[in-house]
Amino acid sequence: MADRVLVIGSGSREHALAWKLAQSPHVKQVLVAPGNAGTAGDGKISNSAVSVSNQAILAQFCKDHNIGLVIVGQEDLLATGIVDYLTSGGVRCFGPTAKAAQLETSLGFAKAFLDRHGIPAARWKAFTNPQEAYRFVNSTDFPALVVKAGGPAARKEVIIAASKEEACEAVQKMMQEDMFGESGEMVVVEELLKGEELSCLCFTDGDTVAPMPPAQVHRYLMDGDRGPNAEGLGAFCPAPQVPEALLQKIKDAIFQPIVDSMRQEGTPYIGVLQTRLMLTKDGVKVLNFKCRFGDPECQVILPLLKNDFYEVIQAVIEGKLCSLMPVWSENSTAVSVVMISKGYPGDYANSMEITGLLQAKELGVEVFHSGTMVKDGKVVTNGGRVLTVTAVKEDLMSALEEANEGVGAIQFHGAIYWKDVGYPILGFLTQSVYVSKGTKLIKSAEPTAWRCHSELEGFAGLFDLRASGYDDPILVSRTKCLGTKLQIAQVCKKHNTVGQDLVAVCINDILAQGAEPLFFLDYFAYSKLDAEVTQVIKEEIADACRRAGCILLGREIAEMPGMYSLSEYDLAGFVVGAVERRQMLLQLERIADGDVVIGLASSGIHSSGFNLVRKILLMSSLHYAAPAPGGCGDQTLGELLLTPVNMYSKSLLPVFRSGCVKSCAIIAEGGLMKSIARILPESCGVVLDAYSWKIPQIFSWLHNEGNLSEEEMAEAFNCGIGAVLVVQKELAEQVLMDIQRYEEAWVIGNIVSMHTGSAPVKVKNLLEALQLHGSQCQQNAALLHSHLQPKKSKVKVAVLISGAGTSLAALIAYTKEPASCAQVALVISNKPGVEELRNAARAGIPTRVIDHKLYGSRSEFDGTIDRVLEEFSVELICLVGFMRILSSTFLRKWSGKILNVYPSLLPPVKGGNAYKPVLQPDLKVTGCTVHFVLEESSAGAVIHQELIPVKVDDTEETLSERLREAECRAFPIALQLVAKGMVQLGADGKTCCKPEDQQLIHQGTSEGRNSSRGLEQVDRQ
């Protein structure tokens, strides 16, 4: 039966809550009290005039109108205990109790709580005597410049001072001049933290924590983070500068300790918890809390939630969040732009007619109302914060463009809004570029200042480093040209890649110091060049700067007749970047024995080694216009050689900011050998394994055609690796996952202690890997080496359980390995409350309970499972202790996609006991079998078998324990073979593999474990 839901509040946050709840089939009506024009009549959503300030009236209203759920959006109502009152009266309510809500409503409580439990936050002290506050401000060894009102009616009254004198003036205004009334009876003076601010939220049922994607909010009135604090005028989510490793740290160091400590103190926190955090040089620190969704965080986060919002709320209230973990849209970004009235946050006019709302909706954006009302049949303004326009697209730039289009369609007198939400993250520093025109400096005020400026007449381009937000910056610069690669481009008359090459080689080099590119200048010289070629090169340079997030600040174009031939030209680039002093890389003392080396894929030869390439071609029968050698694609050889250089700023800058990377090298001049040696301390070397990454076919061709040794290859070329990172072993998996969001990357080696005189870089198996073709090289690596490397997109796997499935932990651990080709995307149990659900939730894996007892037939039960699998885009299913018999319809649909492990060698032992029959004197061996699940069991469907010896003194207990251990080894191997596509179920119901994989599979499984029969049955077929 569908519920009526009551949302309390009148802002854009409450509109977004109602909008998301209305999408649930479990909800028949959403009432919003008091609501606004947007919630006045929109499908399931309507407004209610019930008094929300009188708890008794509100409780009776809920009972009279069969309200099944109440959601509170307002802080003051949480503080007065509305959740306690409604819950005690039998009304289901989502939100924390008044005592738990003190994290938001009582500044003193929140500060003392953080101190009590050692949760990182700004240093502080509370005062009721202004003289003591003055002494504290002037005597501390940290900048005590944040003054907050902490009295009984305090809300968000805060002054951030620029000096100790201003801080003392703020104390005086609050405590002695009654600037904020009784709120100033007590003040809190705290440390001014420096860094990047972030909003992180989570759902929690008092035990389990489910983080939401991090959002970044723009809080200041003017573009470029200038002007007064207006409490959030735009936001984007997820924040791309927060990698998964940092988000996990926030969960482990902030959210989970808070929830655990509240529960231990007898005040379980249930609902949504929002923290404002500062990413400081000393780590993440808490600024403050909200005990509900923030505004505009709610409007930018909820559109990315894939689950039924109503079901998530019910799981939180019932303490079952671990069985229904939220799932968020992948590869999507949301941007929210808030429209405000002129004068906000001060005085402003109301009753201004709003037009263009329907046109904005037609553009694909969501418009959430806040300060609006219906007057005389028209929608008019009724507050300072008027509307929030939200767009969801595949990337931040696209979402921002669509949100701005939506905002542009809406009009009301005095409308003000941010135009550059997210631009600082993209590196588009709006107020920091000056273009000189003659002797007059003109400041560029356009948010699109990154676009290509034409020739800059006059003197110089200026860059305002202070406006870029750095605390203690070190400038990093690089000048480069393209050398022989540019000559080859001119011979091939291929000019549309050299612009990206020029920008990429400069920017990649400053990345090795951890620097963010700020601005770029280029030099373009020629004798007489075709205008179309010139324009192509200029546009490519401008586009590459845009994608790198840096500004094209200047260009020198020199026409020099007689200096070059008619079609010849030269290019050079100059880039300047910045890095905080404390975040500089190349700190050699941090590198230690046992560290892991991660390699990022190159796109090809990149920019070094072209002198040798040209020499090889002079001796070859091929020419630039000839088809590329076999296996290298359908390009010409010239086009293949001119493949643009990969630019790594987008993938590397976020992991640099996480602090997990010890050093970085760009593989350029000197190839693998010399480039990596530059970042190693004298006591350390590195051992790479060429089987662990994909070597592009062009390098195999150059090796053969030029008759080069492996030493010559490693000293001249990147051999498929464009950049390497040195990271601590324990952090390597997370760093690799963060990079693989943008680039193909692998674990390719380790740091080792080195004796004096030894070569600092050793590359094992390079000759053998060069002799293999690209895909075959990857397949050998996947089976012959322990650090298998994943496909860029992992196969999504669902695990079905009924209780304590022993292989689940092994599967989860395996799929988190960088090498895994599979990802456990969902765990389904037909029994509620089993421990394995909690284990999956702790690992961050979504879970579902589909109780078979609630269904009238097996087909209905299977149909529900099937719908959930489709919802999560599942591709493979693993049965781990799943005790239900699946219907024929289900098995036929998922034929060749369901894997099961059985504790014996097929054919299966009849009678249900797989251990007792093998405890016979004449049996010396048993094992387990991973197989495809068919309507009728078949020995031909075997994927992998693991053998274990039967010992003389074995009992059922000891044998079963060793069999369980064997299952934990066998299941991940089988899943990898299927996920990688090396093994599949044939049309005849028997396991088969590609002919080119048969020898690899047999060799890999037999060499990998002597006790395993692997796929010997497959080889015989």
3-state secondary structure 278-338: EEECCEEEEEEEECCCCCCHHHHHHHHECCCHHHHHHHHHCCCHHHCCCCECCCCEEEEEE
In three-state secondary structure terms, 31 is: strand
Assess whether 717 and 845 both reside in one domain. no
Q: What is the CATH number of the domain that holds 64?
A: 3.40.50.20
pLDDT exceeds 60 at position 449? no
- Least confident range from 442-451, 564-573, 729-738, 864-873: namely 442-451
pLDDT exceeds 70 at position 447? no
Q: Which of 392, 417, 442 is the last residue of a domain?
A: 417
What backbone phi and psi angles, to 5 degrees, belong to 585? -85, -165
In a domain, 498, yes or no: yes
Report the distance separating Cα 418 and Cα 437, nearest Å.
28
In the numeric block, which tokens belong to residue 245? 């490793």
In a domain, 141, yes or no: yes
Q: Residue 289: what residue type?
A: F
Q: What is the CATH number of the domain that holds 345?
A: 3.30.470.20
Report the pLDDT value the prediction gives residue 332, as an integer from 0 to 100: 93
Q: Which of 583, 598, 625 is the last residue of a domain?
A: 583
Assess whether 758 and 867 both reside in one domain. no
In the numeric block, which tokens belong to residue 929? 């079998």
Report the distance separating Cα 231 and Cα 218, nearest Å.
8
pLDDT exceeds 90 at position 196? no
pLDDT per residue as tens digits for the range 76-88: 899 999 999 999 9
pLDDT per residue as tens digits for the range 458-474: 456 777 777 666 778 89
Report the distance separating Cα 761 and Cα 675, nearest Å.
10
In a domain, 1011, yes or no: yes
Q: Number of folded domains in the chain? A: 6
pLDDT exceeds 90 at position 656? no
Q: What is the mean pLDDT of residues 748-769?
A: 89
Inter-axis angle of helices 835-842 and 808-815, nearest 10: 10
Q: Looking at per-residue confidence, does 542 or 354 come out higher?
A: 354
Report the pLDDT value the prediction gives residue 573, as an integer from 0 to 100: 95
Q: What is the CATH number of the domain that holds 541?
A: 3.30.1330.10
The three-state DSSP-derived secondary structure of 462-530 is EECCHHHCCCCEEEEEEEEECCHHHHHHHHHCCCCCHHHHHHHHHHHHHHCCCCEEEEEEEEEEECCCC
Q: What is the mean pLDDT of residues 542-554?
A: 87
Strands 1012-1014 and 158-160 turn out to be: unpaired
Q: What is the CATH number of the domain that holds 128?
A: 3.30.1490.20
- Least confident range from 348-357, 730-739, 995-1004: namely 995-1004
pLDDT exceeds 60 at position 225? no
pLDDT per residue as tens digits for the range 663-692: 999 998 889 999 999 999 989 999 999 989
What backbone phi and psi angles, to 5 degrees, belong to 600? -100, 140
What backbone phi and psi angles, to 5 degrees, belong to 375? -135, 120
Assess whether 683 and 817 both reside in one domain. no
Q: What is the DSSP string of 59-101?
A: HHHHHHTTEEEEEE--HHHHHTTHHHHHHHTT--EES--TTTT
Assess whether 950 and 818 both reside in one domain. yes
In a domain, 196, yes or no: no
Report the distance separating Cα 384 and Cα 158, nearest Å.
20
pLDDT band at 577 (very low <50, low <70, confident <90, very high): very high
CA quadruple 163, 166, 172, 178: dihedral sign: negative
Assess whether 27 and 76 both reside in one domain. yes
Assess whether 821 and 934 both reside in one domain. yes
pLDDT exceeds 80 at position 157? no
In a domain, 706, yes or no: yes
Highest mean pLDDT among 154-158, 425-429, 517-521, 620-624: 517-521
Q: What is the mean pLDDT of residues 812-831?
A: 86
Report the pLDDT value the prediction gives residue 220, as an integer from 0 to 100: 52
Is the CB of residue 771 less than 8 Å from the CB of residue 709?
no
pLDDT band at 1012 (very low <50, low <70, confident <90, very high): very low
- Least confident range from 44-53, 289-298, 420-429, 734-743: namely 420-429
In a domain, 108, yes or no: no
CA angle 334, 396, 234 (to 5 degrees): 55
Report the pLDDT value the prediction gives residue 450, as an integer from 0 to 100: 32
Report the pLDDT value the prediction gives residue 547, as an integer from 0 to 100: 84
Q: Which of 543, 562, 583 is the last residue of a domain?
A: 583
Report the distance separating Cα 711 and Cα 723, nearest Å.
19
DSSP H or E run through 1020? helix 1016-1020
Which stretches does DSSP call E strand in 341-383? Answer: 366-369, 372-375, 378-381
pLDDT band at 390 (very low <50, low <70, confident <90, very high): very high
DSSP H or E run through 672? helix 671-677
Q: What is the mean pLDDT of residues 276-290?
A: 88
Highest mean pLDDT among 66-75, 158-167, 749-758, 921-930: 66-75
Assess whether 525 and 651 both reside in one domain. no
**3-state helix vs strand vs coil in the chain, percent to 5:** 35, 25, 40
- Least confident range from 91-95, 138-142, 367-371, 819-823: namely 819-823
Is the CB of residue 152 less than 8 Å from the CB of residue 182?
yes
pLDDT band at 995 (very low <50, low <70, confident <90, very high): low
In a domain, 112, yes or no: no
Report the distance separating Cα 900 and Cα 930, nearest Å.
6
Assess whether 230 and 345 both reside in one domain. yes
Q: What is the CATH number of the domain that holds 700?
A: 3.90.650.10
Report the distance separating Cα 520 and Cα 546, nearest Å.
10
Report the pLDDT value the prediction gives residue 938, as an integer from 0 to 100: 65
Inter-axis angle of helices 956-979 and 808-815, nearest 10: 30
pLDDT exceeds 80 at position 51? yes
In a domain, 165, yes or no: yes
pLDDT exceeds 60 at position 527? yes
> Which residues, other chains included, contact 956 with Cβ-Cβ below 8 Å and sequence gap of 6+?
915, 916, 919
* Full-model pTM: 0.59
In three-state secondary structure terms, 623 is: coil
Is the CB of residue 970 less than 8 Å from the CB of residue 944?
yes
Assess whether 628 and 573 both reside in one domain. no
Q: What is the mean pLDDT of residues 877-896?
A: 91
Report the pLDDT value the prediction gives residue 1, as an integer from 0 to 100: 61
Assess whether 561 and 523 both reside in one domain. yes
Report the pLDDT value the prediction gives residue 123, as an integer from 0 to 100: 92
Assess whether 853 and 936 both reside in one domain. yes
Q: Residue 944: what residue type?
A: H
pLDDT exceeds 50 at position 433? no
Assess whether 351 and 411 both reside in one domain. yes
Of 601, 768, 603, 784, give the one whose Cα is nearest residue 694: 601
Q: What is the mean pLDDT of residues 158-175?
A: 89
Q: What is the CATH number of the domain that holds 985?
A: 3.40.50.170
Report the pLDDT value the prediction gives residue 633, as an integer from 0 to 100: 63
pLDDT exceeds 80 at position 140? yes
Report the distance separating Cα 498 and Cα 644, nearest Å.
7
Mean of all residue pLDDT scores within the chain: 84
Residue with tokens 């649909």: 893
| Total Cβ atoms within 10 A of residue 53 | 10
Is the CB of residue 604 less than 8 Å from the CB of residue 641?
yes
HSE toward the beta carbon, residue 953, CA cutoff 13 A: 0
Of 886, 876, 961, give the one whose Cα is nearest residue 926: 961
pLDDT per residue as tens digits for the range 930-944: 999 988 766 678 998
pLDDT per residue as tens digits for the range 496-516: 999 999 999 999 999 999 999
Q: What is the DSSP string of 889-912?
A: HHHHHTTTTEEEEESSSSSPPTTS
Instruction: Determine what percent of the chain is predicted with pLDDT higher than 90.
Output: 47
Q: Looking at per-residue confidence, does 582 or 363 come out higher?
A: 363
Report the distance separating Cα 507 and Cα 738, nearest Å.
20
Q: Which residues form the domain of 674?
A: 588-784
Inter-axis angle of helices 531-548 and 498-511, nearest 10: 30
Integer Rg of the chain from CA: 32
